[in-house]
Each structure stands twice: as structure tokens, then as C-alpha cells.
Structure 1
Amino acid sequence: MSQVVVITGASAGIGRAVARLYAERGARVALVARGEAGLEAAAKEVAELGGHPLIQQADTADPGQVEAAADTVERLLGPIDVWINCAFTSVFAPFTEITPEEYRRVTEVTYLGFVNGTRAALARMLPRDRGTIVQVGSALGERAIPLQSAYCAAKHAINGFTSSVRLEMMHQGSNVHVTIAQMPAVNTPQFSWVRSKLPRHPQPVPPIYQPEVAARGVVFAADHPTRKQRYIGATTAATIWANRLAPALLDRYLARTGFGSQQTDAPAPPGRGNLYAPADSVPGTDHGAHGEFDDRSHGHSVQAALARHPAVTAATTTALTVAAVGGVRRLLGTRST
């Protein structure tokens, strides 16, 4: 029998790319998101690739909508095997320019949406004593950067929340697994549709990876869920370990470079973003998996491939970390002269 997989944030970006991979396996894929156009396009792709799609239009910030979606999935597709939390929204702006309402909304979707999804999944998986939950995390869940305080806070919260839940299930001796796939900068549509108050167009901090790299990492984490977390992309591993070894150096580096590196030379895009309403709410507004930075994005990650072989992972991570710390030291030394 094919797997039943629930993906929140499935209408675009990483979630959309993950849905395609499960479709190629012939999985029954429940696509959860707010935007109608993106969901319809994702469902068509899943069917064309050999999967069995089910659209569930829902706002993950609302626990009632998430619970209703889970009920429908189990009634129409069967018991849920894998639940992937990926939905998010954000605001690009200095903290002092983000309103309390905006901050609350980012937190409700990007953090509490994961809590709501995890709760709905566990309510069904724990009685059966099987199932896997994958949280799509970020290197920014450990190393915060400027202009993304709400997003960084939510990703930090996801790490703490997931670790606590994981320990509770270990105490119970449960065969349900929860793991996190920590992401690098990924070329998704978010940089065109999230709310921004920056003077120039937002961009991911290079190096940038394509959503397919992220998706392969998510699916691998779901297939091998016993590890607490997995790092996707060399920059994720290097950033997290460099932050543990030399946090003060990274503070100085990001304070100097973090504003400019997150903006292109182009003017800011028009509109108010997808904070309160989906960017793909009407026909013809599907955004797909990729953002605007295809010409600058990597379709493969050597680190992610090596991470599938534990014997070489530690040595690779150590080398990347030493290189990252050394690079920051050299840059700060050059800029201080």
C-alpha cells in the first residue's frame, strides 16, 4: 500500500517540491495550503507524476482547520504515515518597523502552524504507535540574522518545541518519530511574496539552493527519522557549527553585512505580501516551486549527499566549519583596516 503523506505549505516552494518527489513514489499526497491556484496546480503535478492528490485548503494558524484537514485525509486517503510541516509566512523589516499584529501573524503561522500540525498528526499516530513528522527548519533557527526577527524567532521556537516533544515520546517508548530538516537559503517564491518593508527587493543570502535540494533532504529525513535533525546544504552545517564555535565573530560579521546581503539592487516589489491572504488566491497566480534566482542557485549539494553516509559527515562538517570561521575572521580583519 502506498504511503499517505500530508504536506503543509504544499502550494509552492519546498512543500511543492516535496509533493513532486512523493508523487513519483505513487504516494497518496494531501496538499495543505491557503492558495487555491497553487493547490490546483500542485494537485495536477502530483497526478501527472503518478501520485494521488487530495487538496485541503486550510490556514495552519487555525487549529480547527488543521484538525478538520487531518480528519478528511484519514477518511479519504487512509491512516497518515508522514506529516511534513512546511507552511510559513514572514515580514522582511527591522523589528522596530514590524507592528504587533504582523509579528503575531508570523508567529501564528510559522511557529504555531507547526504546533497545530504536530498535534493533529500525533493524535492519530500515537494510538497506532507508528508514523513520522518532519519539521522543515532553518539554519536561522540557531543563528539569527537581521531583518528577519519574526521568522528567526519562530524557527528557534520550532527547535525547542520539537526537542521537547521528541523527549516525551522517547520517555513513552513510542515508535512515532519527529525530526527536523534544517534548511539553507533556498530559491523559493517567498522573496517575491512575503511582506517587505525594505527599500530594495529581498533576496536569499548566497549560496542559494534550488527547492529540489531541500525536498530531497526532507524526504530523506522522513525515510530515516531516528536522528534529531539533519542539515541540508553545506552552508547550513557551517553556519550552525560556526555559530557554536565563534558566535561573537558571526555577530560582528552579520551586523556589517546582513542588511545589504539580503537585498538586490532592484526596487522593492509592489504589494503588501501574503501575510493575511495567499498570493495565489485566484486562477493564473500559481507560483510553483522556484523563485526568481534560478541563475544563481545550485541544483545539488555535496554536503547533503555526504550526509547520507554518516562515516564522512563529521569530517566534512568540521572542515566546513573551520573554513567558515576562518573566512569570517579574514573578512572582519580586512574591513577593520
Structure 2
Amino acid sequence: MSLKPLAEQTVVVTGASSGIGLATARMAVERGARVVLVARDAAVLEAEAARMAERGGKAAVAVADVGERAAVEAAVAKAVEAFGGFDTWVNVAGITIYGELWRVEERDHERLMRTNFWGTVNGSLAAVEHLRDKGGAVVNVGSVASDLAFPLQGMYCASKHAVKGFTDALRMELLQEGAPVGVTLVKPASIDTPLPHRARNYMDREPTLPPPLYRPEEVAEAILHAAVHPRREIYVGGAAAALSGLKAAAPNAYDLLAPAISTFERRGERPRDPEGALHGPKNGGQVRGDYPGPVLRSAYTRAGLNPVATTLLATGASVAAALVLGRRRR
């Protein structure tokens, strides 16, 4: 399908008060798009919109808890009021919990699913109602956890599995209807955002993310590419594609990585903030986390956004899979 150039679009971004959402909104404005910032933290959003305006950008604010459908509908109305509508809707809003599944309180499990899964559902369905006739894009930010799981964040992984299933079904139904709406799932590896600081934490210290970590701007680049050139899925970070491939090819071997993943998650030395931002806005306004190691660009992702490189990568993956299967048969 043919979509508008980014500079001619209005882009709605949920989870726009920090991390990937904030990085995406800033990058979109820098490239000439009008942006609607959606999150729970009014003060952070207003300050960011003012900053964008000072630099010549156009931004509107919609304070909303994406877990509530009425609040998402109000964000749609704000986009219509401010800019006459929108062309791309990006579902980024998400949170995590650190702790064994049996230790986490039911209300915390439910709140995570309300934000991560139902927030994506609410945003996607509201966006489709607006876009199904005129066309546009829905971009959902899943995770490498959409394909696999890891310990101490079990319900987060469950929510990202659910996001993938919902996104795939939504794409199929829109194709069946012939609606000109692109639907893309973006699946990042570990990204250097404030996610660990904002998590609900049952551990005895603040967690860290397992390496390698990539820049939030790498995810923003993939999201904005999908706003103009819809793709089925985009992995951000070669590590995401590699881990997903390992899980698919050798699930039992992947499960054996659990102790190593847990060790990395427990390596933090800072005192923990047990409540985090699960039940209310907190610690917003930052794109980056404070990971002490190297934070990478993703040559894999940048190459994959190029059509020629994508074909070569797909061909190489098919050849590799054929070789593996051939060896197994022998």
C-alpha cells in the first residue's frame, strides 16, 4: 500500500512520556511529522510538547491511561481536534514486573495486562476505526518476548505473546476486508530505556537488562519506517532475531539459558523502588536508562529496513534453515 511521507503525517504515540515512546515522538517531530503525545503523566507531556514547539515542531497532548478504552477514544478525539485526524498510531505503552510468578500479587498481574495487552488492543481498534477508509498504519511494539520467555518477567512475556497473537489476527482481518491499513509488529531486544527503574519490583535490588543492549533510537527508526513502509514484523537488534531463531530451532536448549538470564537480571547494585510506575506515572521524561556497559546501534535492523538487504537476509536464512534440516535428515 502507498502511505504518506512521514513529513506529511500526524503520528499518535502512546507511552510517549519515556523510553521508546519518547524517542519515537522526538524523532517523528524532527522529521517533520505532527505528533500527538499520549501517556498518563500530564506534566511530562506538557513539558515535552513545549520543548518541541520551541524547536518548530507541532505536538498535541492527550493524557490517557491506555488500559481504559474511553481514555483512548478521548486521545483519538484530541488528534482530530488538533490536526484533523492521524495517519499512524503507535502502541508503545508498556511496563514490566520483576519477580517469580507465584510471588506477584494478582492486582499487579492484572494491571500489567491492562496496560501492555489491553492498551495495545484499545489503541489498535480505535485507530482502525479512524483509518479503515482513508488508510494508514498501526505499529505495535511487542518484544523479543513475543517469541520466547525469560524468568522473573513471566507476565510481561505473556503480555507480549498476547500482543503478537492479537496483531497477527488484526492484520489478517484487515487484509480479508481489503482495508488499506498496514499493521506492523516491532520486536526489540534489550533496549537501554528506564524500564527497569519504572518496573514493579519484588526483588531485593533494582534489576538490570541482559546484554547486548541497543539504543532506543534504533526502535524509533524501525517504528517510523513502518509508518511509511508497513512490514509484518521488524526485529530490532540482531540479538532479538538470533534468540528467536534459537528458541524456534532448539527450545529445550534455550530453556537452559534461564540461570544465566536470571543472573544478569539480578546484577543491579542500586536500591530498589518496589512500586515503580505500574499503578501510576512515575520517573518519566527520560529516553535512556543508565546501563553501565556498551549500548549498540543495530546494523542488522538498519540493513533489514533496506529492501535489497532484506531479500538477501531472507535468502540467507532460508539457505541456512535448509542446510540445518538437511543435516538432521541425514
Q: Does 1:312 align with 2:312?
A: yes
**Distance 1:208-1:36 versus aligned 2 partners, 3 A rule:** same
Q: How far, CA to CA, are the matches of 2:77 and 2:313 in structure 1? A: 40
C-alpha RMSD of the superposition: 2.0
Q: Does 1:97 align with 2:103?
A: yes
TM-score by length of structure 2 reads 0.90
**In the alignment, which residue of structure 2 is the partner of 1:131?**
136
Q: How far, CA to CA, are the matches of 2:286 and 2:194 in structure 1? A: 8
Where 2:256 maps in the other structure, the secondary structure is helix
Q: How far, CA to CA, are the matches of 1:177 and 1:77 in structure 2? A: 21
- Could you tell me which amino acid in structure 1 is paired with residue 251 of structure 2? P
- Are the equivalent residues in 1 in contact too, given 2:19–2:193 (CA < 8 A)? yes
**In the alignment, which residue of structure 2 is the partner of 1:250?**
254
- Could you tell me which amino acid in structure 2 is paired with residue 152 of structure 1? C
TM-score by length of structure 1 reads 0.88
Q: How far, CA to CA, are the matches of 1:221 and 1:317 in structure 2? A: 22
1:261 corresponds to which of 260, 264, 272: 264
TM superposition shift of 1:36: 2.4
**Distance 1:265-1:90 versus aligned 2 partners, 3 A rule:** closer
- Are the equivalent residues in 1 in contact too, given 2:207–2:268 (CA < 8 A)? no
TM superposition shift of 1:218: 1.2
- Are the equivalent residues in 1 in contact too, given 2:137–2:226 (CA < 8 A)? no
**Structure 1 range deviating more: 104-113 or 172-181:** 172-181
Q: Does 1:86 align with 2:83?
A: no
TM superposition shift of 1:39: 1.2
**In the alignment, which residue of structure 1 is the partner of 2:4?**
none
**In the alignment, which residue of structure 1 is the partner of 2:169?**
164
**In the alignment, which residue of structure 1 is the partner of 2:211?**
206
Which runs of no fewer than 5 residues in structure 2 stay unpaired?
1-6, 322-330
- Could you tell me which amino acid in structure 1 is paired with residue 13 of structure 2? I
| Count of matched residue pairs | 313
Encode CA deviations 1:220-243: one digit per residue, 9 max, x unaligned.
Answer: 122210x21111110111111111
**Distance 1:87-1:37 versus aligned 2 partners, 3 A rule:** same
Where 1:94 maps in the other structure, the secondary structure is coil
Q: How far, CA to CA, are the matches of 1:40 and 1:68 in structure 2? A: 17
**In the alignment, which residue of structure 2 is the partner of 1:111?**
117
**In the alignment, which residue of structure 2 is the partner of 1:333?**
none
Where 1:87 maps in the other structure, the secondary structure is coil
Q: How far, CA to CA, are the matches of 1:271 and 1:162 in structure 2? A: 31
Encode CA deviations 1:33-60: one digit per residue, 9 max, x unaligned.
Answer: 0112321332134324442010111100
Where 1:200 maps in the other structure, the secondary structure is coil
TM superposition shift of 1:80: 1.0
TM superposition shift of 1:295: 4.4
- Could you tell me which amino acid in structure 2 is paired with residue 313 of structure 1? L
Q: How far, CA to CA, are the matches of 2:54 and 2:301 in structure 1? A: 28
**In the alignment, which residue of structure 2 is the partner of 1:71?**
77
* Percentage of identical aligned residues: 33
- Are the equivalent residues in 1 in contact too, given 2:201–2:273 (CA < 8 A)? no
**Structure 1 range deviating more: 312-321 or 60-69:** 312-321
Where 1:5 maps in the other structure, the secondary structure is strand
TM superposition shift of 1:268: 3.6
TM superposition shift of 1:167: 0.6
**In the alignment, which residue of structure 1 is the partner of 2:327?**
none
Q: How far, CA to CA, are the matches of 2:118 and 2:268 in structure 1? A: 34
